[in-house]
Structure 1
Amino acid sequence: MSGESMIREVRVDSDAALMPELHRLYETAFPVEEQIPYPDLVRLLPVIPIAYSAWYAGDSFVGLTLVCEWPTANWFWYFAVADGMRGRGYGSMVLKAVMARYSGRVLVLDIESPRQQCANLEQRCCRHAFYLRHGLRDTGLERTFSGVTYTMLASADSVFTDSDYESLLAELGRCWEAMPRKELARPWPGRTKATPAADPVGARGGCGAHCGGGQFWPSFMRLAMAICIFVLSDECLSTSASM
Structure 2
Amino acid sequence: MTVVLQRVNNENMDEIKKMYDDSFPKEEMIPYNKLVEISNDIDHLFYGVYDNYTLVGMNYLIVKKDMLYVLYLAINKAYQNKGYGKAIVNEIKNKYSNYRICLNIEEVNPKFINNDQRIKRKRFYQLLGFESQDYLISNHEGITFETMSINGDVSSKEIHALFDYFKKLSQIKTNRKR
TM-score where L is the length of structure 2: 0.82
Q: How many angstroms apart in 2 are the aligned matches of 1:16 and 1:167?
A: 31
Superposed displacement of residue 27, structure 1: 2.0
Q: Which has the higher strand share?
A: 2
**Unaligned stretches of 5+ in structure 1?**
186-243
Tell me which of the two structures has the higher relative contact order, counting C-alpha pairs closer than 8 angstroms and 6 or more residues apart: 1
Identical aligned residues as a percent: 22
1:190-217 residue CA offsets vs partner (Å, 9 max, x unmatched): xxxxxxxxxxxxxxxxxxxxxxxxxxxx
Whether the 8 Å contact between 2:58 and 2:75 is mirrored in structure 1 is yes
- Residue 4 of structure 2 is matched in structure 1 by 8
Write the letter of the residue equivalent to 2:131. Answer: R
CA offsets, 1:38-94, max 9 Å, x none? 222222225982111111111111111111111252111111111221221111111
Confirm whether residue 168 of structure 1 aligns to residue 162 of structure 2. Answer: yes
Counterpart residue number, 2:145: 150
Which residue does 1:212 correspond to in 2? none
Match of 2:39 in 1: 45
Q: Which has the larger radius of gyration?
A: 1
**CA 1:91–1:43: 2 relative to 1, 3 Å:** same
For structure 2, which runs of at least 5 residues remain unmatched after alignment?
A: none
User: What is the SS of the residue equivalent to 2:117?
Assistant: helix
TM-score, with normalisation over the residues of structure 1?
A: 0.62
- Alpha-carbon contact 2:61-2:69 (below 8 Å) kept: yes
Distance 1:72 1:176, change over 3 A: farther
SS of residue in 2 equivalent to 1:183: coil
Amino acid at match of 2:89: L
User: 1: CA distance between counterparts of 2:40 and 2:7?
Assistant: 13
Preserved CA contact (<8 Å) 2:68 2:102: yes
Task: Name the aligned partner's letter for residue 90 of structure 1.
Answer: Y
**Aligned CA-pair RMSD:** 2.9
> Counterparts of 1:45 and 1:152 in 2: how far apart (Å)?
23
